[in-house]
Amino acid sequence: MSNQAESPDASIRPFRIDIPQADVDDLRDRLVRTRWPDQLPGVGWDYGIPLDYVQELAEYWRTGYDWRGHERQLNEFPQFTTTIDGQNVHFLHVRSPEPGALPLIITHGWPGSVAEFMNVIGPLTDPRAHEGDPADAFHLVVPSIPGYGFSGPTRETGWNPRRIARAWDELMQRLGYRRYGAQGGDWGSSISRELGLVVPGHLFGVHLNMLFAQGPDDQPDLTDEEKARLQRLRQFRMSGSGYGAIQSTRPQTLAYGLTDSPAGQLAWITEKFGEWTDGGLPDEAVDRDQLLTNVTIYWLTATAGSSARLYYEAARSRAWGAPENSTVPTGVAVFPREIAPAIRRFAELSNNIVHWSEFDRGGHFAAMEAPDLLTGDVREFFRRFR
């Protein structure tokens, strides 16, 4: 059984996204009335996401983007809520038509949402309908992290990655999945790995598409590629991690601006799609409407501040310290434009690596940028457990 304390209300409740029209109208009205900042000439992205790009994207969001159409697409997937450890948890539960499907829980990160996985859910649950092998099918559980999206804001302190992992195990047990796989990137990577630490006997394996390169700085025989990856990590910590410093120290202060200004929320999220994706502008690396659906979920649920709190909680739970050793079979998919691509020899210091793939395209948002590659790698990794 799960170590998670049973909620007084363990029911699984059907859920359907149905945003009031007044909220959609309010978003458009606020975009019209945006008070734009100035910008220095000729600085490009050096000082942050450029003014003209945000203005153009905001205008499309106001006049061209169809929330109702994307709301309908999201509602094509069966969705539910339940209460775990006092917290509302929203999730998609998409069962495969294949009787031998393997249960798999997939977790997003920041600044992501369940909308990240729109292009992988079909191929993973019904490979027969997507030119795949039906033997590779999964029953998918795709939750919104507490504090994110339709899970709504957290109501108390302490929702760190380990606590979320325990909630995920309770969710899987409630759904009848005694053993299952876990997959994730960004915070989904941390949470999936934590599952392997707190309930290793419940997991077949863990597949990650992000794993920070951590190891001794004085390693004497690093290859040129390994040195380049370590330098990428150093560069990120020096000049690309300001958002994390703010969210892990002052999430409440940040929340006022992002919850009041859709242009602010748009810029805060979209900048990361510019920095962490493989090639071009953010809406060239990923589908523009899918990007805006992701941003719109943050806006309509007013979870800018509560999502940022995960950084605060993690920083105080030592989730960013030296990793504990995991014995669960682990697979890693390395995409070249990840924040800091993983280094296998370092990953093996604290993980039971049984599968390692290196790709020549894709970045941090793999399910959006390269859904074909991610789907293929998840299938390949979990074949050994069927």
Helix (H) or strand (E) holding 331: strand 329-334
186 in active site: yes
Using CA atoms, how far residue 369 sits from 252, 266, 340, in Å, is: 31, 19, 17
Catalytic residue among 186, 278, 289, 377, which?
A: 186
Please state the φ and ψ torsions of residue 179, each to the nearest 5 degrees: -130, 150
The dihedral built from the CA positions of residue 220, 223, 224 and 230, taken in this order, carries a sign that is negative
Kindly give the residue spans of alpha helices, DSSP state H, lying in the chain: 21-32, 51-63, 67-75, 121-125, 161-174, 187-198, 224-235, 242-247, 251-260, 262-275, 282-285, 288-301, 304-315, 344-347, 366-369, 371-382
pLDDT tens for the chain, residues 1 to 386: 233 444 468 999 999 999 999 999 999 999 999 999 999 999 999 999 999 999 999 999 999 999 999 999 999 999 999 999 999 999 999 999 999 999 999 999 999 999 999 999 999 999 999 999 999 999 999 999 999 999 999 999 999 999 999 999 999 999 999 999 999 999 999 999 999 999 999 999 999 999 986 777 677 889 999 999 999 999 999 999 999 999 999 999 999 999 999 999 999 999 999 999 998 899 999 999 999 999 999 999 999 999 999 999 999 986 555 688 999 999 999 999 999 899 999 999 999 999 999 999 999 999 999 999 999 999 999 999 99
Residue with tokens 């002052």: 250
pLDDT at residue 130 in the model: 97
pLDDT at residue 120 in the model: 98
pLDDT at residue 320 in the model: 53
CA–CA dist 380, 386 (Å, integer):
11
For 189-222, b/e burial (b = at least 16 CB within 10 A) is bbbbbbbbbbbeebbbbbbbbbbbbbbeeeeeeb
Catalytic residue among 148, 243, 311, 312, which?
A: 311
Asked if residue 277 lies in contact with residue 339, where contact means CB atoms within 8 angstroms, the answer is: no
pLDDT at residue 321 in the model: 57
Q: What is the pTM of this model?
A: 0.95
pLDDT at residue 216 in the model: 74
Using CA atoms, how far residue 107 sits from 257, 283, 291, in Å, is: 27, 22, 17
pLDDT at residue 7 in the model: 46
